[in-house]
């Protein structure tokens, strides 16, 4: 049984910060099928289109019939833990400082055998349920879970290395004025975040929901205007060393594309708030988060962006807004690459139009701010990297996979 983790005490500033190390990162190109599965929280194996064999590790031909038709397919997750070992003296630096570390051999009901990390409650000879996770190198690894829920199971030491669980972590939510921001704060507190800093621009101006926000224990309102480089830098100077999770809830939505607008002032606002705001945040908070990626129970763990799903395919009715989101998406991949050496995840939460005033004219279905908040917490707890919230976002994801040209024509119809 897992002992619950304890809330970390205040850090002794004289003690060395444990520097992040990466588990082995090299993978074959085919193996990144698992990276994709892990990013979305799916369990996929290669499945032979010719003979139906599931295989593992990643191959370029089926070991049963030599067909090259080996698509990654959602696969049954159940298996049996055949054998396990506890590594006491691993050769690799990353695992050496985390030893003892438990791994095992799982025979999947669908056929293949997986070398896997183990949750502590997995028992040899017993049933397990598998997932692929992104480890501290950002690459996919197999992880075996007990079949049923066990006490304190999310506190498992090896599991916590794969996730960015908010429990006992300190969070910065960048926009407390928005409904989404307020819902995210509430959800993170419920998930056990020890403190949530909430950015509010010009905090002397009252806003809806302010009283509820101020009444929450462990929530601290801090001045933050992310379009203003100095404001962001000032906040980082105050709290930058104790932000373990950053949730960028910046929201700057305006309707319109190119031809029905005069001049560039609206476009510039969109870029200033969404894109440059992201740049300011990354430059102010990114490097200290990367430095603190292995800093114990409340190590820096994740950076979350809320992006419109129209970052992936322009929606001309909100065309300039879509472009600003596409710029943020591109930048998020840059940030992801730069934070990877610290083991800090970048989570992109893609959403369709939110049920907020700026999408007043858009017909349902729309996404409730609370749904975005709970998707963020779920992604952090499960260690995901790409999340689609709501029916619109999920539909766009599927349509893009099928035919991006059709999506372009239909959104522009």
Partner 1 sequence: MQSSIRTPYDRVVMAVPVTIPYVRYSVESAQWWIGRALKALVDGAGITPRDIDGFCVSSFTAGLDSGIGLTQHFGLCVRWIDTIPLGGASAIAALRRAARAVQAGDARIVACVAGDTNHVDSFRYTLENFSRFNQDAVYPYGAGGANASFALIARNYMRTFGAKREDFGKIAVAQRSNALRNPDALMKAPLTIERYMSARPIADPIHLFDCVMPCAGAEAFLVMGEDVAASLNLPAARILATIERHNAFGDDPVQVRGGWAVDVDELYAMAGVKPDDLDFVETYDDYPVISMMQFEDLGFCRKGEGPDFVRQHDLTIDGSFPHNTSGGQLSVGQAGAGGAYLGVVEALRQVLGQAGPTQVRDARVGLASGFGMINYDRGLASGAAILAGPGA
Give the footprint of partner 1 on this chain (CB under 8 A): 23-28, 31, 56-58, 63, 82-92, 94-95, 98-99, 101, 103-105, 107, 113-117, 124, 135, 137, 139, 141-142
Distance CA 281, CA 226 (A): 7
Q: Which one, 27 or 381, has the nearer CB to partner 1?
A: 27
Helix then strand count (H, E) for the chain reads 12, 15
Distance CA 321, CA 310 (A): 9
CA distances from 341 to 7, 177, 206, 330, 378 (A): 26, 33, 41, 19, 24
Least CB distance to partner 1 at residue 52 (A): 16
Name 241's Cβ contacts closer than 8 Å, sequence gap at least 6. Answer: 288, 292
Least CB distance to partner 1 at residue 59 (A): 9
Least CB distance to partner 1 at residue 95 (A): 3
Q: Which one, 127 or 227, has the nearer CB to partner 1?
A: 127
Query: Which phi and psi (to 5°) does residue 79 adopt?
Result: -160, 180
Least CB distance to partner 1 at residue 271 (A): 39
Q: Which one, 139 or 324, has the nearer CB to partner 1?
A: 139
Q: Which one, 26 or 413, has the nearer CB to partner 1?
A: 26
Q: Which one, 90 or 223, has the nearer CB to partner 1?
A: 90
Token code pair at residue 242: 């104790």
Closest Cα partner for 354 from 308, 395, 321, 387? 308
Least CB distance to partner 1 at residue 134 (A): 11
Q: Is the dihedral of CA 316, 322, 327, 331 positive or negative?
A: negative
Least CB distance to partner 1 at residue 241 (A): 30
Q: Which one, 155 or 161, has the nearer CB to partner 1?
A: 161
* Residues constituting the chain: 413
């Amino acid at each position: 049984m897992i002992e619950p983790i304890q809330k970390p005490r205040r850090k002794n500033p004289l003690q060395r910060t444990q520097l992040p190390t990466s588990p082995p990162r090299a993978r074959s190109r085919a193996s990144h099928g698992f990276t994709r599965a892990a990013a979305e929280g799916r369990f996929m194996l290669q499945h032979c289109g010719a003979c139906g064999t599931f295989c593992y590790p990643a191959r370029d031909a089926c070991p049963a019939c030599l067909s090259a038709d080996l698509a990654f397919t959602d696969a049954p997750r159940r298996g049996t833990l055949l054998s396990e070992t506890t590594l006491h003296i691993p050769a690799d630096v990353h695992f050496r400082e985390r030893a003892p570390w438990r791994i095992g051999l799982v025979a999947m009901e669908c056929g293949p055998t997986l070398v896997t990390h183990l949750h502590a409650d997995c028992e040899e000879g017993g049933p397990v349920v598998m997932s692929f996770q992104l480890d501290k190198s950002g690459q996919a690894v197999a992880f075996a879970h007990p079949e049923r829920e066990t006490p304190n199971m999310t506190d498992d030491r090896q599991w916590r290395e794969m996730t960015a669980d908010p429990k006992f972590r300190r969070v910065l939510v960048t926009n407390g004025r928005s409904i989404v921001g307020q819902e995210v704060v509430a959800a993170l507190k419920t998930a056990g975040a020890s403190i949530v800093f909430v950015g509010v621009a010009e905090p002397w101006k009252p806003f809806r929901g302010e009283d509820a926000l101020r009444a929450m224990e462990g929530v601290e309102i801090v001045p933050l205007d992310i379009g203003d480089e100095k404001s962001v830098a000032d906040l980082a100077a105050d709290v930058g060393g104790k932000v373990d999770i950053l949730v960028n809830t910046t929201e700057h939505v305006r309707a319109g594309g190119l031809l029905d607008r005069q001049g560039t002032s609206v476009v510039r606002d969109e870029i200033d708030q969404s894109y440059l705001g992201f740049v300011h945040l990354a430059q102010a908070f990114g490097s200290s988060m990367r430095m603190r990626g292995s800093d114990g129970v409340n190590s820096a763990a994740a950076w979350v962006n809320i992006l419109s799903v129209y970052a992936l395919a322009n929606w001309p009715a909100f065309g300039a807004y879509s472009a600003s989101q596409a710029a943020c998406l591109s930048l998020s991949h840059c940030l992801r690459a730069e934070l990877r050496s610290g083991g800090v995840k970048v989570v992109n939460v893609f959403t369709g139009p939110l049920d907020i005033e700026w999408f007043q004219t858009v017909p349902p279905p729309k996404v409730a701010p609370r749904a975005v908040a709970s998707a963020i917490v779920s992604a952090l707890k499960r260690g995901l990297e790409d999340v689609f919230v709501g029916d619109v976002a999920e539909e766009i994801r599927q349509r893009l996979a099928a035919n991006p040209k059709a999506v372009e024509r239909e959104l522009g119809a």
